[in-house]
Amino acid sequence: MAKQALQTVTVTRAQTLPAERRLIIALAGNPNAGKTTLFNALTGMRQKVANYPGVTVERKEGVLMLGSERARLIDLPGLYSLNANSVDEEIARDALTGKIPQLPAPDCIVAVVDATNLDRNLYLFTQLVEYGIPIVVALTMIDEAEARETEIDAVKLSSYLKVPVVGVVAGKRRGLEELAGAIESALGRAPHAFADFPFMNNDEEEAGNGNASILARYSWISDVVQESVKTRQSTGRVFSEKLDGVLTHKVFGLLILAGILLFVFQTIFSWAQLPMDLLDSVFGAMQDTVRNALPPGLLNDLLANGVIAGVGGVMIFLPQIVLLFLFISILEDTGYMARAAFLLDRLMSKVGLHGKAFVPLMSSFACAIPGVMATRTIENPKDRLATIMIAPFMSCSARLPVYTLMVGAFFTGQYVFGFVSVGAVLILSMYVLGVIAAIIVAFILKRTILKGPTPPLLMELPPYRMPNFKVAFINVFQRAGMFVKRAGTVILAISIILWALANFPRPPQAEAAAPVIAERQIESANQSADEKQKQIDTEAAAEQLRYSLAGRMGKTIEPVIAPLGYDWKIGIGLISSFAARETFVSTMSILYNVGKDEGATSESLLQAMRDAKRDDGSPVWTPLLALTTMMFYLLAFQCMSTFATVRRETNSWGWTFFMVGYMTALAYVVTFLVYQGGKLFGF
């Protein structure tokens, strides 16, 4: 049978398809119908992920083997109908009609239908038949239907639908060969005419009587289900309802959610630490190798401190991203993620956000990059964009070195009530302030430029299932690859630009002048040769920064940042922080002549900041300035990897620069008010 069908396919292609075009098979189905699991089972690792042209909706394509034929399998967005009221529906419709560039109309549609919920899933099928494309129904989750004591007569169902119906359990690869054979057979057969289905009434459609058409479809679906399905009393459904009574409870549900999130993020931070340290050491070893392999000079410095340090400073967050997406995939597979969105919808809707915005915002506490990427679960474009616009307000781990530096310099050894550290209170306050800022900005955005009705949470609570770890790992592998590809290229380019700004132009006779200056400063000091060389190198680096374009930019912006209490050196720190916020620490170490490798807890750097003086002899740094600097770094947009990710996810330079502009303006205004207000009150 399969061999005969394959021969039919070959003849059909020779007659109707160009020799260079492969067959195209489209997967279409409702969310939570098992479409992604089926796609992964059919394609394995022979797949790729990209975006549809001009939009941020994800496009997944893989290779489906039909005998010796390699077909393109397209995974259409999950949707409930093809009425084109959303971007996903428009894309699915355009894909089915061949209106997407480089993607002809499919030669066959695989309608993915959840066997445990035929009544809802078959509505999409009634729309797919209108496109006149051969269809095969993949009846997924038949094992769950059997566990619920639901019997589906596939032969009778096929006779009503007038298309092949194949039961599959994708996770166990059950029915996949039969499905491939049914697709081969369908490719050589003309689709049924619209008139074959009783719910097709062209007069009502032309008259605009859409409600009558919908009722006719559901009436037909009801008749089909009644004739094809037999259901007995199921204890599984009763158990699911009882579990929902606890997990979606307005009090206990929130406590359970808080516990799960605490476990997830604590695990991310603890489990990711070792691989992050390993990656850090790998990039450090790469820097040392380059420094030792090449003679001292600009090329050495570019590769070691520009390329490797710039890219490595972002790639070390990859373990956190991998773990985060692994947990998200598992929570989605089990059906719990939908319950979490349902629980938090009431709170999020008060500021105009969708309940699904909660997960991306929580993810951003680890890093804004996975948080921004996680907004893909939000269907409405305005709700998704609003969530992206506020995600960077969550205090990510890159801000901690700056917080630690400020607390260590001016708030160490201070306590509230005699036992609560002031530093801990300040850092916690930064996290809380970030959440408050996000809520206020979201409230404003959703009532102005992203104005729209409070989004209703219309979502299905899928049945509880055991997670498919193979699917989870495939998803994680894809996300990790996308992060490296999307962020890495832009990060590399910007790292080189920032390196150039800090290294050009070169001061006159820099190689000779810097050591002379350094030795004059330390000639009477009792230091070892290594300490003297470190001091010389540090002074040379500081001299280079002062003379460089970055130093001149710091001098240029000094009048603008002076009302915030900042001098030109801090200005350079602000500029360099666009590479990554934590680079502020190394920049201050260079400018205060304590060595660029000193960390945020280095006593030499802390003391140098305390001792720094302005031209009039007053201290540069004060507790008030340290506090406002923490606030500035909380509110300002200073992360090139997030910049690259937002550009990719929004597919818009306009929205990306809008984010940079409004966050920087907000940071400036708040910092100005707090600093000047603090001075007014004697702080």
The answer to whether residues 25 and 106 touch, using CB atoms and an 8 Å cutoff, is: yes
Q: Cβ contacts of residue 317 below 8 Å, gap of 6+?
A: 276, 367, 369, 397
pLDDT over 90 percentage in the chain: 27
What global pTM score does this model have? 0.63
Whether residue 49 is found in the same domain as residue 114: yes
Whether residue 229 is found in the same domain as residue 257: no
Residue 308 in domain: yes
Residue 220 parent element (H or E): helix 210-228
pLDDT value, residue 422: 83
CA distance 592 to 548: 16
Strands (DSSP E) found in 216-274: 229-231
Whether residue 156 is found in the same domain as residue 296: no
> Which residue among 176, 199, 233 closes a domain?
233
CA distance 88 to 78: 8
Whether residue 257 is found in the same domain as residue 218: no
Whether residue 59 is found in the same domain as residue 198: yes
Alpha-helix runs per DSSP H in 25-150: 35-43, 87-96, 118-128, 142-147
298: amino acid identity, one letter: L
Q: Which residues pair with 229 in a beta bridge?
A: 152
pLDDT digits 0-9 by tens, 259-309: 887 787 677 767 887 888 898 889 889 988 998 999 988 888 888 877 887
Here the tokens at position 632 are 């500035």
Whether residue 192 is found in the same domain as residue 266: no
Whether residue 181 is found in the same domain as residue 284: no
Number of domains in the chain: 2
pLDDT digits 0-9 by tens, 140-159: 989 888 887 888 999 999 99
Residue 465 in domain: no
Residue 101 in domain: yes
Whether residue 191 is found in the same domain as residue 315: no
pLDDT value, residue 416: 76
The answer to whether residues 296 and 562 touch, using CB atoms and an 8 Å cutoff, is: no
Q: What is the mean pLDDT of residues 190-213?
A: 60
Q: Are strands 69-75 and 165-167 parallel, antiparallel or unpaired?
A: unpaired
pLDDT digits 0-9 by tens, 523-547: 545 566 766 666 677 677 767 777 8
Q: What is the mean pLDDT of residues 1-22?
A: 40
Whether residue 228 is found in the same domain as residue 275: no
CB neighbourhood size of 245 (10 A): 11
Q: Could you identify the residue written with the tokens 């360099």?
A: 576
pLDDT value, residue 538: 65
The answer to whether residues 112 and 76 touch, using CB atoms and an 8 Å cutoff, is: no
Residue 59 in domain: yes
Residue 362 in domain: yes
pLDDT digits 0-9 by tens, 68-106: 889 999 999 888 888 876 777 888 889 999 999 889 999
Give ∠ CA 148-472-38 in degrees, rounded to 5: 55
Nearest alpha-carbon partner for 368 in 577, 580, 665: 580
pLDDT value, residue 234: 55
pLDDT digits 0-9 by tens, 303-355: 887 788 767 766 776 887 788 778 878 887 888 887 887 887 777 787 888 77
CA distance 430 to 406: 12
Q: Cβ contacts of residue 426 below 8 Å, gap of 6+?
A: 403, 407, 411, 627, 630
pLDDT digits 0-9 by tens, 594-633: 545 545 556 777 888 888 888 788 899 999 999 999 999 9
pLDDT digits 0-9 by tens, 176-195: 999 999 999 998 776 665 56
pLDDT digits 0-9 by tens, 216-234: 898 999 999 999 998 765 5
Here the tokens at position 669 are 């205004």
Q: Cβ contacts of residue 650 below 8 Å, gap of 6+?
A: 56, 385, 388, 656
CA distance 307 to 491: 9
Whether residue 355 is found in the same domain as residue 413: yes
Q: Are strands 150-152 and 415-416 parallel, antiparallel or unpaired?
A: unpaired
CA distance 602 to 194: 76
Residue 61: which CATH number? Answer: 3.40.50.300
CA distance 278 to 415: 36
Residue 531 in domain: no
Q: Could you identify the residue written with the tokens 């540069």?
A: 620
Residue 644 in domain: no
Q: Is 209 exposed, middle or buried (0-12, 13-18, 19+ CB in 10 A)?
A: middle
pLDDT value, residue 7: 30
Whether residue 66 is found in the same domain as residue 201: yes
Here the tokens at position 317 are 């967050």
With 70 as the cut, is the pLDDT of residue 208 above it?
A: no
Q: What is the mean pLDDT of residues 421-432?
A: 84
What average pLDDT is seen over the chain?
A: 80
- Supply the range of the domain harboring residue 122: 2-233
CA distance 577 to 640: 9
Residue 125 in domain: yes
Whether residue 151 is found in the same domain as residue 200: yes
